[in-house]
Amino acid sequence: MDRTEKREFVAELSNVFASTSMIVVTRNNGMTVADVTALRRKMREAGANFKVAKNRLALLALDGTRFDGLKPLMKGPTAISWSADPVAVAKAAVDFAKTNEKFVLVGGALGAQVLDASGVKALSELPSLDSLRAKLLGLLAAPATRIAGVLQAPAGQLARVFAAYADSKSEAA
């Protein structure tokens, strides 16, 4: 990389750090190209991004951001992952770490809060943003469904009474 490419890389990472709320730092020592390709595919499916970064350049990009606390984690062969949905990137990283022992979670940061590997794992166990939205919509729709059921119940009961009355009249005749 020449100086211009390095400046562009640092600027790109700075933009990432400014626009995201969750960063996961991992160690990828000894991973094959096929492993990294599978990891990138898994991250893309989760709506996350994965990038292997030179530590010195990543440290320059971290300067002045809310993710300054990640600096001690940037030692050795590291990579970073990020996503708009904090749970999605944590889930993707933890799931891949379960299947590949060369991919190790180092830690992460959720906003200004630095997380260790167990913190990232705990975050991955939360429901995703989409599932939380679905549950919230279900909770909001449930009262309307119940109200409709309550309003329809008297009419249904009245119809059953009329039907029973009609049946009793036809039996009497």
In tens, the pLDDT along 121-152 reads 888 887 766 777 777 777 776 676 666 666 66
Same domain (yes/no): 111, 86: yes
pLDDT digits (tens, 9 = 90+) for 110-122: 888 888 888 888 8
Same domain, 106 and 95: yes
pLDDT at 20 over 80: yes
Q: Are residues 117 and 136 in the same domain?
A: no
Same domain, 55 and 135: no
Assess whether 86 and 137 both reside in one domain. no
Q: Per the structure, how many domains does the chain have?
A: 2
> Are 94 and 138 members of one domain?
no
Structural domain of 28: 3-126
Q: Are residues 116 and 65 in the same domain?
A: yes
**Same-domain pairing of 72 and 143:** no
Single out the residue of 42, 100, 37, 106 nearest to residue 69, CA to CA.
Answer: 106
Q: What does the alpha-carbon distance between residue 167 and residue 154 come to, in Å, rounded to a whole number?
A: 20
The length of the chain, given as a count of residues:
173
Question: Do residue 89 and residue 68 come from a single domain?
Answer: yes
Average pLDDT in the chain: 82
Give yes or no: residues 39 and 79 share one domain.
yes
pLDDT digits (tens, 9 = 90+) for 69-115: 888 888 888 899 998 888 888 888 999 989 888 888 988 888 888 88
The CATH number that applies at residue 122 is 3.30.70.1730
The predicted structure's pLDDT at residue 41: 92
Instruction: Based on the fold, state whether residues 108 and 163 are members of the same structural domain.
Output: no
Domain final residue pick, 126, 141, 164: 126
Same structural domain, 159 and 137: yes
